[in-house]
Structure 1
Amino acid sequence: MAEMSPRKVRRLGWLFMLGLPLYGFALDFVLLLLTYVVLASIAPSVLGEVAASPARFAAWIVLVRLPMMLAYALAVGWRGWMALVIRGEFPDPPVRKGWRRALVKVRDWGADAAWSVMAALIVFDHVADPGDARVWQLVVVTAVGPFLLPESVKGLFWLLRWWWRRRRTYHARHGRPDEEPINI
Structure 2
Amino acid sequence: MKITLDISSKEFDGIVGEEPHLKQTIFLSFQSEIKGEYKFEFMNSTINIFDFKDHLASQGLQFDSDSLFVFGKMQVLITRVKGADIKLLEEINNRAVREQYYTWPYTLSEGNVVCICGGYLSFLADFYASVFIVTESNPKITLTFNSDEALPYDFTSPSSIKRAQLSETKFETNSPGKLFNFDYFSGHFGTGRRVIKSED
Q: TM-score range by the shorter chain?
A: under 0.3
RCO higher in 1 or 2 (8 Å CA, sep ≥ 6)?
Answer: 1
The structure that has the greater radius of gyration is 1
Q: TM-score, normalised by structure 1?
A: 0.24
Higher fraction of helix: 1
